[in-house]
Amino acid sequence: MSYQIPISGNRKAAARLVGGVRRKLLRALEASPETNQVDIANKLGVHRSVITRQLKGTSDMTIGRAAEIAWALGYR
């Protein structure tokens, strides 16, 4: 017996967008060896675990937070 949960087209599109943003932020973090998640958290005034969970995808990330992380990595 298989349990499949149907996902609507708009939810799939949203998941792809969020996943793509996370991947790009992680690549940007990897490309900045002088910056780590602790540095980002300190710049944003949050605990390191908040950034870790959001980048791993275990916690929701707003567009605003994605922009803040990009800012902390030096993107404008």
Residue 43 has pLDDT above 90, yes or no: yes
Distance of CA 40 to the CA centre of its chain: 12
- Considering only residues 24 and 1, tell me which one the structure prediction assigns the higher pLDDT: 24
Residue 28, pLDDT above cutoff 80: yes
Average pLDDT over residues 7-30: 93
pTM: 0.84
| 58 pLDDT higher than 90 | yes
Please check the confidence at residue 2 and state whether its pLDDT lies above 80: no
74: region left, alpha or beta (phi > 0 left; psi from -120 to 50 alpha): left
| CB distance 54 to 60 below 8 Å | yes
Residue 53: band (very low, low, confident or very high) from pLDDT cuts 50, 70, 90: very high
